[in-house]
Amino acid sequence: MTLDQSEVGSEPLLSVENLRTYIDADGGRVHAVDGVSFTVDRGETVCLVGESGSGKSVTCESLTGIVPQPPAEIVGGTVSFDGLSLLDADDSTLRSVRGNRIAHVFQNPQQALDPVYTVGDQLAEAMTIHGAGDVTATRERAVELLRRVGIPRASERVDDYPHEFSGGMAQRVAIGIGLAADPELLIADEPTTAVDVTVQARLIELLRELTGGGMSLLLVTHDLRVVAALADRVVVMFGGTVMEQGPVETVFARPSHPYTQALFESYDGLDRRGERSARDEIPTDGCRFRRECPHAVDACGGGTQPPTYPTDGNSAHEVSCVHYAPERDPDQILADARGASPGGIPGRTDRSEDAPDTRPRGESGTANGGPTDE
Ligand X SMILES: Nc1ncnc2c1ncn2[C@@H]1O[C@H](COP(=O)(O)OP(=O)(O)OP(=O)(O)O)[C@@H](O)[C@H]1O
- The residues that touch Ni ion, with contacts defined as CB under 5 A, are 56-57
Among 38, 40, 45, 55, binds ligand X (CB under 6 A): 55
23 sits near ligand X (criterion: CB under 6 A): yes
Shortest spacing between CB 30 and ligand X, in angstroms: 5
122 sits near ligand X (criterion: CB under 6 A): no
Among 39, 52, 118, 284, binds ligand X (CB under 6 A): 52
Shortest spacing between CB 34 and ligand X, in angstroms: 10
**70 prior amide bond cis, ω within 30:** yes
CA 189 – CA 64 distance, rounded (Å): 14
CA 261 – CA 255 distance, rounded (Å): 6
Task: Find the binding residues for ligand X in span 66-95 (CB under 6 A).
Answer: 71
Query: Residue 250: how many CA atoms within 13 Å on its side-chain side?
Result: 18
**Distance spanning both ends of the chain, measured CA to CA:** 62
Query: Would you say 55 or 120 has its CB closer to ligand X?
Result: 55
- Tell me the helices (H) and strands (E) count for the chain, helix number first: 13, 12
Stretch that binds ligand X, among 53-61, 84-92, 138-146, 257-265 (CB under 6 A): 53-61
Query: Would you say 53 or 342 has its CB closer to ligand X?
Result: 53
273 sits near ligand X (criterion: CB under 6 A): yes
Query: Would you say 103 or 235 has its CB closer to ligand X?
Result: 235
Q: Phi first, then psi: give them for residue 81, nearest 5 degrees.
A: -120, 110
**258 prior amide bond cis, ω within 30:** no
266 sits near ligand X (criterion: CB under 6 A): no
DSSP of 251-280, one letter per residue?
HHH---SHHHHHHHHH-SSS--TTTTTTSP
Among 14, 36, 46, 58, binds ligand X (CB under 6 A): 58
Query: Would you say 57 or 320 has its CB closer to Ni ion?
Result: 57
Q: Phi first, then psi: give them for residue 320, nearest 5 degrees.
A: -95, 85
53 sits near ligand X (criterion: CB under 6 A): yes
Binding residues vs ligand X (CB under 6 A) = 23, 25, 30, 32, 50, 52-58, 71, 273
